[in-house]
Amino acid sequence: MRFYTETHKHYCGIDLHTKNLYVCLIDHEGEILVHKNIKARPEALMKLIKPYLDELVIGVECMFSWYWIADFCEDNGIDFVLGHALYMKAIHGGKAKNDRIDSLKIATLLRGGMFPMAYVYPRAMRPTRDLMRRRMHMMRKRAELLAHIQNTNSQYNLPGIGKNLRYTFNREGIAERFEHPSTQKSIDLDLNLIGFYDEQLSKVEWHINRCAKEVDYPSLMILQSVPGIGQILSLVMLYEIHDIERFPRVQEFLSYCRLVKCKKESAGKSYGTSGAKIGNAYLKWAFSEAAVLFLRQNPHAQAWLEKRANRHNKAKALSILAQKLARAIYFMLKRNTVFNPQRFLNA
């Protein structure tokens, strides 16, 4: 956890909503200068804070509508701090809670050096990153449709389909396997939706490849040197990581990727683990996917995994492999070196 410890003349805490902002502005001594609810518009915010622009810092809690506040501060040369929503316990732990109290707490945390920081992702790369996240959502919907076809086939105890339905030419005659017209209509609906998703996803991926000019091309080649990591998966990793230098240690990087479990202890007693939702869910998915793809047509990696699976279990062994890949990629990006399969498996 990182805290914002810079000192300023004025501290502005904003309880952010889609239509309204509750703004609290205090000075270095903690005296309230402004405490007001305004419309969520740049003009209204500038009018309110204009007398206090001298050494001003603005802090907001991380929610989906923080982009425009960050851009507003960048355009006007104002220091901006994004608060980590899951670390800001002081806001959610009070007896009374409302927008007025929350904005004051945000400003007070800024002033006291106890404001937990989240990463402010660069403005130019946000749209493409959000499009890649949207693509992931569409891919999961498509996978649900494919799984429904297989589940329906098992539901009626029919012989296995025996073909990979990811490919269009393997979907011919699938609906006719079922006797009842309603079941055929249900499968036909799934197949039509899968075809629609295939068309849209190909367009999205073409657009992503065309727009991915902001990423570091050598880093992209470094990631693609890992077996199983292709064009799209490497772009997902680079857009989510952005800059490997923001992680001073590999432990912080693994924690950000949700690949480690944090123990809860007190007075020598263990209370299990916590913080499972703190970190980047998209990097967690990316490295889990990379671990599975790494095993394809890789007998040495499969033998390595089998040894770990005998010691633990297959799910745990895959988690260990995903963490090992993330650790290797961290040092590869730090040192600008390509993947070494022998060193990786023997380490």
The boundaries of the domain holding residue 9 are 3-120
Same domain, 8 and 106: yes
pLDDT tens figures, 16-65: 999 999 999 999 999 999 999 999 999 999 999 999 999 999 999 998 99
Kindly state the helix (H) or strand (E) to which residue 206 belongs, with its residue range. Answer: helix 181-211
Asked if residue 114 is part of any domain, the answer here is yes
- Chain centroid offset of residue 142 CA: 20
Contacts made by residues 315-320, CB under 8 angstroms, sequence distance 24+: 318/288, 318/291, 318/292, 319/259, 319/288
Tokens found for residue 183? 């079941």
Residues 297, 339: one domain? yes
* Short-list 161, 14, 23, 157, CA closest to 82: 14
Whether 223 maps to a domain, the answer reads no
| Domain match, 250 and 178 both | no
What CATH number should be reported for the domain holding residue 78?
Answer: 3.30.420.40
Q: Are 22 and 14 in contact (CB under 8 A)?
A: yes
Q: How many domains does the chain have?
A: 3
Ramachandran region of residue 226, left (φ > 0), alpha (ψ -120 to 50) or beta? beta
Whats the size of the chain, residue-wise?
347
What are the tens digits of pLDDT across the range 110-122?
999 999 999 999 9
Say whether both 141 and 110 belong to one domain.
no
Q: Are residues 337 and 252 in the same domain?
A: yes
**Whether residues 207 and 256 fall in one domain:** no
Contact indicator for 130, 250 with CB cutoff of 8 Å: no
- The alpha carbon of 40 is separated from its chain's Cα centroid by a whole number of angstroms, namely 26
**Per-10-residue mean pLDDT for the chain, 347 residues long?**
93 95 96 96 96 96 94 96 86 80 93 94 93 96 96 94 91 93 96 96 93 82 95 94 95 94 83 84 96 94 94 94 96 95 84
The predicted model scores a pTM of 0.88
Cβ(49)–Cβ(41) under 8 Å? no
Is the residue at 219 inside a domain?
Answer: no
Query: pLDDT tens-digit profile of 248-270?
Result: 999 999 999 999 888 888 888 88
CA 121 to chain centre: 11
Residue 235 lies in a domain: no
Residue 228 placed within a domain:
no
